[in-house]
Structures are given as structure tokens and as C-alpha cells.
Structure 1
């Protein structure tokens, strides 16, 4: 594995999207329930971590970036917990509080280091709060070097087309982690980072590498992207630009948990590009980060020391 020389400049990133709270309940499993054929978990430890767009912010801060985070949460205990976690990491956050919804929470129950169950709590934000969020976003744009839009299809990025347009009008690069079957709303972004299932949902399937390349390049051209970065799990990553296609083999030594791996990839890519690293080198670094983080339990981060090793 080659040594990567990381840039020392700390870029300023504005991250907007679906903010979540990841909760983990860890316990022992020693018996099966008499009520149903399911394991009984005796909870011994609980953890809370930043999830969704907040996990992108957490990863970017771990790599030395200055981060502003924009999202919507409920006026509730989970929203308070998110704010405490952000404050502890000194992430500059503008969390719009929507009293009519609950904060998005993903609760994972872990027994013997294996995820046994995930319970999701989520509601889409209201139009009024989304309008306020868009106004805040436009006001914050001039202060940042690069924009990351983290779309988990939970409702916080319904105005994503306007957000991309506003950023590009100011000459700001825009990286998007997309969702859904219609990528047209991301038109004009700099780079999209779909995984295989997300790309398949948008362009349909492919029978071989040549057809995949044709479909990826057609989508990139149609949306006016500078690049499309396809994350391919055990197959690594593929970078499609107007002049080339580059493949990066996976660097994962073992895959323990893929939770939040896409967050790590786009955060690393954004930090490296924001600090002036060339695109191919930034993707190589993001690929290494993804390979490291899947060897950790749950939504995790990668340090500069791990990347440079």
C-alpha cells in the first residue's frame, strides 16, 4: 500500500442533509425468548453517535476540516442529544428545530458483536422549517470552500436543486451523496457518489463493465457533472470523468460493518478536494478511508494517522 501525503490546509465545508442520531444498545445473548423464536438481549451498555449528514460532519472534523452543519431535528430529547454530540466535537451546527416531528433515530441492538435488530424513528420535516433552512443555507454559502449534500431521502433535501444552483452560482464545488430513482434534481453538481444499488435504481441494470461505463458516462454528461464516483463494495470504486475512467480496487482487509461507509467516503473526498488535492489522489484517499472504516463497528471515523500510514 502506497503512502499518502495528506494536505495540511484545513478546508471549510458546509454540510447539509438528513441529520440523524444513531443509538446502540449492546448486550449479552444467552437464551431464546419463550414468547417468540427471537434472541433475548440483556442490555449492558448504550452509546449515541452522530448519523446521516451529522456523521459526514463528524468524519470531516476528524480529518481536520472546519465544518458547518445544516439540518432539521425535532424539539425533543434526541435533538438535544445530537446537539450535545456536535458541541463536543466543535462542529458549527444550525439545527432547525421542528416541534411537529421527532428527530430521526436509528436504534441498533447488538448482541455478541452482531447487529440483531435496527429500529428506525423518522418523520419528514414541515414546509415552513424547510423554507427557513433554505434561507439559512443561502446565507451561509459565501463562508465555505466546498458544499456536501447528504441525501438519505428523509425529507431534508427537497430543495436540493435550488441548493446546488445557489452554490454553483457562487463558484462553490458541490458533492452529493444521492438517493432515489431520479438524479435529475442533482443536475449541475460537481460530483455524485452513488453506490451500486443507488446507481442501478437511477439508470437500470447492466450486463457487463462496458455497459456500466456507457450508462455512468451518459448520466454524468446528462447532469453536467465533473465526475461520477461509483462505490462498489468489494469491487472498490470507479471514477468516471469526461476524459477517463479510473478503477480503484478495494483496500478493506476485513468487512465488519458497512454502516456509514458512504459518509466516510464523501467526507474524505470533500476534505481532500477542499484542501487542494487532485481528484484522482482524493479518490484514492477516500477509497483507503472506506476500507478502514468498514473494519470498525457502527458509524465510525478515520483519522489522518490511519490514512497516512
Structure 2
């Protein structure tokens, strides 16, 4: 399979729906222990803000060279304004539903001596009326996109996902889902879901052999009417289960530095390829290569067209 041209990718449009968040990093020096408690004192000397969650997925789609629209719910607060500014800077179109009662999701990581010392999360659940408005926006913009990607972090932003999947499939759009939790019935009818090993084991139980994995994965796929199930397996690469059976590609990471956001990169690459008209089996090696590149970077990161197709 030949790689898509820049022109082909530039015409591909992916609608990313889900739980967006702001990733904050505080970097500092650690040279003493606090007299108040047995914890390190971090003298912060640098701060970074990055797109996280569904926003990072949309950024990954854009960085690859495709067009991305992010549909999400945020609060009426400073992190929401920062999120919007970062999205505008990166060229990601955004439909941000505003809920005054919501804390825009923030994950604050404190880094000392090149290690993450603590992560602090700010979050709560969005209002149902705001989510209903999100569904209305979704119906309005769906026809303009070639693929739909749901980024589910279990934060409450995808209450209407069964209806959204139904609308997308009725419109002939491929639907990709990065799943969360153990109830995969809410993803019924999707084109492909992309769980990692721990996420899939939560649903089908731990497997003792490849044969048992294949049997259970295919049973799950058929039960929920999924075209494909793409299992990401870290150092073991990826496995795709579909009507043709099973195919696997080996891992391509040269050196694993940070797995943060690797799943975002994998599913973004899959979505961009499907929006270009490629099949799941054609998209899988590209997504595998993208994941192998991004784990060699620090924090939530993305992969460029040059890195992926050079």
C-alpha cells in the first residue's frame, strides 16, 4: 500500500468527540525534603501547557496533515480559555460547549529530576442540558467529515454516544472509538475500537493463550457488531480482529521514553487513514508506526507527516 499524499490527507476531515483536557507540567529542581512531611520540595522553574485527552487526539490528526474538528464540553474558566487558545494556535477547529458548573479537566504533573512525582486532577461531571446541545452540534457538523473518532476517558462527556454512533453509521461514516470501562455495549455498531491489553482484559478477562484471546476478542466483536477490534499490545505490537480473522504487526518503538498519549496517536493515525478511504488492515501498520514514534517523546506528543512517511 502506498502512503497517502499530503494532498489526500489535507482533504481528509476527522470529527473528534470526547473528553478534552489540559495537560499542565511543572518542572523543577529537587534538592531537599520538606520539614512538614516526608515529601520532596520541588522548586518550579518551568511550566508547560499541552492539549490532552480528546484535544490531543485532534492535535495528532492535524499534525499528520488531515483536518480535525474537536467537539467537547468545557467549563467557563481559565483552563477552558487556555485550551481554546492552544487549539487555535494548532489550527484545530473547535466546538466547545460551555458549562458554567463544570471544571475544565486539568491534569497537573509535577516533574523533578526527570521523573513524575505526582499528578493532580481537576474534574467533575458535565450538565445534561449542555450534553444535549453537544448532540445537536454533532448532528449539524457530521455531514462535513469523513470519519468520526470518539475519545472516551470516562469523564461524562459521551453520554449520547450510542445515538452518535447510530447517526454516523447511517451517514456512512467510519466510527473509531478509544474505549473506557467494562461496558462495551454502548459502542455497539462502531467500525473499530482500540483497547489496550489492560482495558480488554477488564472486559473479556485475562487470557492464558493466544487462541483464547482470539476466541474471546472475536466473540466480543460479533456481540457488539464491530467491524474490527484493534488491540494495542505495547512491546508485542498490535492485533486486529475482523471478519477475515486476525492479523498482527510487531512493535516498532526504538526506545520507550514515555507512553503518555500513545493511544491517542494510534487512533488518530487510524482515523486519518480511514478518512482517506483506506481499510482497517491498510491503516493498522501506519498507526503502529505512529505509536512507535510517539513513545520516544516526552509527555503528550504528536507525530508529523515527515516522521511517519519519510
TM range (shorter): over 0.9
- Compute the displacement of 1:143 (Å): 0.8
Distance 1:165 1:101 in 2: 27
Question: For residues 90-169 of structure 1, what are the structure 2 equivalents within 5 Å?
Answer: 90-169=91-170
Question: For residues 175-214 of structure 1, what are the structure 2 equivalents within 5 Å?
Answer: 175-214=176-215
Q: How many residues align?
A: 307
SS of 1:256 mapped into structure 2: coil
| Matching residue of 2:245 | 244
| Matching residue of 1:276 | 277
Q: Does residue 215 of structure 1 match 2:213? A: no
Cα contact 1:7–1:276 (8 A) shared by 2: no
SS of 1:40 mapped into structure 2: strand
SS of 1:93 mapped into structure 2: strand
Distance 1:273 1:161 in 2: 21
Gaps of 5+ in 1: none
Q: Does residue 261 of structure 1 match 2:262? A: yes
Distance 2:96 2:248 in 1: 38
- Compute the displacement of 1:4 (Å): 6.8
| Matching residue of 2:5 | 7
Cα contact 1:7–1:277 (8 A) shared by 2: no
Cα contact 1:73–1:96 (8 A) shared by 2: yes
Distance 1:37 1:292 in 2: 38
Taking structure 2 as the reference length, what is the TM-score of the superposition?
0.97
Distance 1:288 1:112 in 2: 30
Cα contact 1:58–1:89 (8 A) shared by 2: yes
| Matching residue of 2:42 | 41
Distance 1:53 1:272 in 2: 18
- Compute the displacement of 1:187 (Å): 0.3
SS of 2:165 mapped into structure 1: helix
Distance 1:52 1:92 in 2: 16
| Deviations 1:150-198, CA, capped at 9 Å, x for gaps | 0000000011101100111111110000011110010000000011111
SS of 2:208 mapped into structure 1: coil
Distance 2:117 2:282 in 1: 38
Cα contact 1:51–1:299 (8 A) shared by 2: yes
| Matching residue of 2:70 | 69
| Deviations 1:203-225, CA, capped at 9 Å, x for gaps | 12211111011010001111111
- Compute the displacement of 1:35 (Å): 2.0
Taking structure 1 as the reference length, what is the TM-score of the superposition?
0.97
Cα contact 1:4–1:308 (8 A) shared by 2: no
Distance 1:300 1:7 in 2: 23
| Deviations 1:89-130, CA, capped at 9 Å, x for gaps | 121100001001110000011112211111011101011100
Cα contact 1:7–1:272 (8 A) shared by 2: no
SS of 1:287 mapped into structure 2: helix
SS of 2:24 mapped into structure 1: strand
Gaps of 5+ in 2: none
- Compute the displacement of 1:39 (Å): 1.6
Distance 2:149 2:287 in 1: 15
Distance 2:18 2:279 in 1: 26
C-alpha spacing 1:148/1:250, structure 2 compared with 1 (3 Å):
same
Q: CA RMSD in A?
A: 1.2
| Deviations 1:34-73, CA, capped at 9 Å, x for gaps | 2222221110110100010000000000011111110000
